Amino acid sequence: MNSNRHIRRLIKEEKEKCQKRFREIEQAQPPSELEVSDSWAFDEPFQQPSVCTNCCEVKKQIAEINEKLEEIILSLAEQKIIVSQLVRQRVENTNVAKCFPIKDEEALNIVNQNINSCAKDSYIKAMRSLLLPEGVLKNLRRILTDEFVVGFNVKGLSGKKALNSFTHFYGALQDIVSESGNAEILIPKAIQLQKKRFFKNKSKSNNNNNEELNKNVSAGVCSININ
């Protein structure tokens, strides 16, 4: 914004300088001197008044200024387009990032359709960023929640739902994982590891809850015995 104001100020100053110069030239020469006398036509070789030379110079300066103005306008137009594209891209990336991690099949359907329509590059960029730096084996949970992964595997075996049936999403995931290894090996392994971690943490949490419950029960029994 400050840059645009500065450019407009420079343009205004150039125009004012040009207009001032033109007024000075007009005031310096009386109107009569602008007329061509008969003596120029018959007695003396024709000589164009000096004011005409000055006028030509002013016109030349005006043409140069107009050329510069056109360049500035084109440059501003290009900058406006670039800024608009950056803002639109930022908004799109923000909206895409909000889709992850995917929590249910409905959300996955939406992502799958969006990747198929027009936003594949944005989704791939977001998913790639989520998997970094450790990769799919460690960070798949940033794309698919633990609860979601429990009901899926790649091919839909053993009564689970098939992740690869969401072809656009799975294809994008494969493209990203393939950048660092064999996607057909890494993705199934990542799903298995995520399930193991989930059940391990769940089991640990249940054990902690049972221990806490036993402590409370023991404390209650002791209190009864004391009384």
Global pTM value: 0.56
User: How many residues appear in the chain?
Assistant: 227
* Distance of alpha carbon 14 from alpha carbon 16, whole angstroms: 5
Q: Residue 219's pLDDT is what?
A: 57
Share of the chain above pLDDT 70, in %: 62
| CA gap 105, 113 in Å, rounded | 12
Q: Each residue of 64-100: pLDDT tens digit? A: 887 887 778 767 767 766 765 555 555 455 688 899 9
Question: Cα(142)–Cα(130) distance, rounded to whole angstroms?
Answer: 6
Confidence of residue 26 (pLDDT cuts 50, 70, 90): low
Confidence of residue 124 (pLDDT cuts 50, 70, 90): very high
Please report which residue ranges of the chain form alpha helices under DSSP H. Answer: 2-28, 38-42, 50-97, 105-117, 120-131, 136-139, 146-150, 167-177, 183-226
Domain coordinates of the chain in residue numbers? 2-32+47-97, 105-206
User: Which pLDDT belongs to residue 224?
Assistant: 55
Mean residue pLDDT across the chain: 78
User: Where does the pLDDT of residue 38 fall: very low under 50, low under 70, confident under 90, or very high at 90 and above?
Assistant: very low
Q: Are 160 and 153 in contact (CB under 8 A)?
A: yes
151, 67, 164, 168: which is closest to 115 by C-alpha?
A: 168
- In Å, the largest CA–CA distance within the chain is 142
pLDDT reported for residue 57: 80
The answer to whether residues 115 and 123 touch, using CB atoms and an 8 Å cutoff, is yes
Cβ burial of 27 (10 Å; 0-12, 13-18, 19+) is exposed
